[in-house]
Amino acid sequence: MDSTQILGYVGALIVGLVLGLIGGGGSILTVPLLVYLLGYNPIIATAYSLFVVGSTSLVGTFQKYREGLVDVKTGLAFSFPSFVAVYLSRRYVVPNIPDTLFTIQNFTLTKEMGVMIFFSIIMLVSSISMIKNKKNTDSSGEKQAYYKTFIQGLIIGTITGLIGAGGGFLYVPALVLWANIPMKKAVGTSLIIVTINSLIGFIGDVQTLNIDWVFLLSFATISIIGILLGVYLSRFISSKKLKKGFGVFTLIMAIYIVYRETS
C-alpha cells in the first residue's frame, strides 16, 4: 500500500468523523478525495461517494436514534420524494449526459468537468450557509404542509443525485428552517434521509457502472469507524464552532475544485 492509498484511507476516517459530528458534509470530502487524491473518474467517484456516505450514515442513524435524536416520521417524509429523484437522476439522467456539453472557441466543457463544477457550486452555497451559522430558535413545532416537503425533497434529491452527495449539508438546514426541528435533532434526522437517498441512488449506479467492491467496502468500513468516533465526540464538541470551521474548509475546497477544473 503506497502513501497515496494510506492518505485516502485517512480521508475515509475523516469523512465518517464529519458525518458523525455535523450530520452532513461526507460527500463534500469524499468526491474530491476520490477524484484528486486517488485518481478516480468523477462519475465513478460520485457513485462511490453515495455508497460510502450511505452505509456510514446508516450506522450513524442507529447511534443517533438510541440517543433520541432522530425524528423518523419527518425523515421518511423527506426521504420518499428524495430517493425517487436520486434514483432517477443516477439511473437515467447522469448516464445520458453527453460527454461534451459545449465548446466555446478553445474551451470545451466536458461531462466530468461539468459534474465537478456543479458540485463546487453546491459546496459554495453550503459553505456560506455554514459560515453564516444563524442561531436556531426552537419553534412551536408546527409542521409544514406535506406538499411543500414533497417538492423540497424532489429538488434536493435531484441536486444530490447529480453530484453524488447524500445531501446532509442541504437537509440539516432544510429540517431546521422548514420542518421546525431543533438543530441537534435535525443532524440525527438528516442521517436517515442521507442513508436512504445514497443507497438507493447507488443502486441506480450499480446498473450502469463497474464497481471495485474490494476497495469500496474497505473505504466504507474505515468511514464507518469514523462515524462511530464522530457520534461519540459530538457529545463534547460544540457543533456550532465545528460547523463554521467546516464551512470555511468547504469554501476553500469549492474554490480549489473550480481552479483545478478550469485551469
Complete DSSP assignment for 186-206: HHHHHHHHHHHHHHHHHHHHH
Percent helix / strand / coil, the chain, rounded to 5: 75, 5, 20
The model's pTM is 0.78
The dihedrals phi and psi of 102, each to the nearest 5 degrees, come to: -165, 160
CA 208 to CA 95: how far, in whole Å? Answer: 7
> How far is residue 106's CA from residue 99's CA, in Å, rounded to a whole number?
16
Cell reading at 101: 456539453
Burial (CB count within 10 angstroms: exposed 0-12, middle 13-18, buried 19+), residue 156: buried
Mean pLDDT, consecutive 10-residue segments, the chain of 263 residues?
Answer: 83 86 75 89 89 89 88 88 88 88 85 87 81 57 73 86 75 78 82 88 88 93 91 77 77 86 79
Q: What is the pLDDT of residue 27?
A: 75
Handedness of CA 226, 227, 231, 236 (dihedral sign): positive
d(CA 45, CA 50): 9
